[in-house]
Chains A and B, each alone.
Chain A
Amino acid sequence: MQNLQARLTPQNLRTIALGAVSLVLYVLLFANEQTVLRLSIDGGWGFLVPIAIAFVFSFVHGAFTGGFWDMLGLKAKTRKEPKRWNK
């Protein structure tokens, strides 16, 4: 339990929240798929619909996936030179 609490850092909470928002976005998209598809072929400004969706999804889902691997311990190597621990 303590371990779990230690893991719920603000960063991880943010990732979980982003994951939830991302999931909601996907559910909404598929629940309204016919409407969205119709809008995207209607002509006029309709072509902006898929592009806007792509941008919104990439921001939310991209931020989530970034945090997701971080949460699991898969982090990028920092560019700093390793300290000389022996001295």
Chain B
Amino acid sequence: MEQVSQFIALDPTGLVGLFLVGFVGGMVSGFIGSGGAFVLTPAMMTMGVPGIVAVASNMCHKFPKAMVGAYKRAKYGQVDVKLGLIMGVSAEAGVLIGAHLQEVIKTSFGDAGSNLYVSVVFVVTLAIVGTFVLRDAIRQYRMGPAGQEEKVGRLAQWVRSIHIPYTMVYFKSIDARVSFLITIPMGFATGLLAATIAVGGFVGVPSMMYVLGVPSLMASATELVIAFVMGLGGTIKFAIGGFVDIRLAMIILAGSLFGIQIGAIGTTYVKPYMIKLVMGLIMVTVLFSRLFVIPVYMSKLGMGIALEDGTIEVLRTVSFWIMVFALVMGAVVILKALWSGMREDKELQPA
């Protein structure tokens, strides 16, 4: 039987590579709720997978991964299912609008225009949210034992004081009632970002933490429910178009399910600021990765910069490896935190 056209023949090196990236990415997702899959799309495209098939197959490994992760963390009592579902459904709307926006930009400005748009959104969002999350993590760390108790911020207190009749919903993660008119834009923004940069959690988790005052452990766990809803919707859309390469998706899933278990176990040992720290570190590092490719796209669009092919190749390679570095660094921090957490825990137990 001949090869089905849009799906490439797979070689063992590529498969092992995807398995490993899946594993490391899974670990990060299990820990911070998302953000483990952004390396996969470019990695698959390097293997020769067409862009849309890479995005579709990545999406198809995300929703089962998020489901397994959410189930695991629900067992630790960290998931607010109601909040996750409400935000998940509104995120779905965000994904649809975001995808449409992408199409419009692509038809008007071509591939380079759409890539430039994605990179700029990446850099701006990560610069604002990443710096904020990282600063908060460092502040909490400096406070020592006092910083281990997460306090409800001023914004969250104000949000909880708003009472809009007939729209109030009780959320167990914050033990308070908040209007769904507030959570809907949060979910929508998460979906919009997911459709643009493939990592909605970079907005979803911080918004739950700072707008609603959800503890970071629960926010990162609840994000997995949102990711499941978004991922399933996205996969159905891509699958109807026939773009899902299930072999690729299942190989990545094979690795990432090993990883997500470790990430989830890790959350039970670490202090709350660690989740913010890993998230902030990854966000800020990925930001630099995108900064390197912005001149490439600007040059292609003739926006005042002219780069030679060699330079473009170098910038692309640097950008890709910074992304890999971000993921590996996140995984190392998680493993280290897990290791020392387990050791401390053992010392507390009798011999």
Contacts and interface: CB of A to CB of B under 8 A. Distances in A.
Contacts, number: 112
A43 B68 contact: no
Contact of A62 (B68, B245, B268): B68
Contacts of B239: 40, 47-48, 50-51
B250 A26 contact: yes
A79 B77 contact: yes
B349 interface: yes
B242 A47 contact: yes
A34 B7 CA distance: 10
Nearest to A41: B242
Nearest to B257: A65
Contacts of A37: 4, 7, 245-247
A74 B258 CA distance: 12
Given A47-B240, A58-B257, A76 B76 contact: yes
A76 B63 CA distance: 23
Nearest to B349: A82
Interface in A26-53: 26, 29-30, 33-38, 40-43, 46-51, 53
B60 A50 contact: yes
B276 interface: no
Given A34-B1, A74-B265, A85-B350, A62 B246 contact: no
Interface residues of B, number: 45
A15 to B, nearest CB: 12
Interface string B236-271: 100110101111011001100110111011001100
B74 interface: no
A72 to B, nearest CB: 10
Interface residues of A, number: 38
A75 interface: yes
Interface string B206-243: 00000000000000000000000000100110011010
A51 B236 contact: yes
Given A58-B65, A61-B257, A50 B72 contact: no
A76 B240 contact: no
> What are the 9 A-B residue pairs with the smallest beta carbon separation, nearest first?
A58-B64, A41-B242, A62-B68, A47-B239, A50-B246, A77-B268, A76-B268, A65-B257, A37-B4
18 contacts: A34-B4, A40-B244, A43-B242, A47-B244, A50-B249, A51-B232, A53-B246, A54-B61, A54-B249, A55-B64, A58-B65, A62-B68, A66-B72, A66-B261, A74-B262, A75-B265, A76-B264, A77-B342
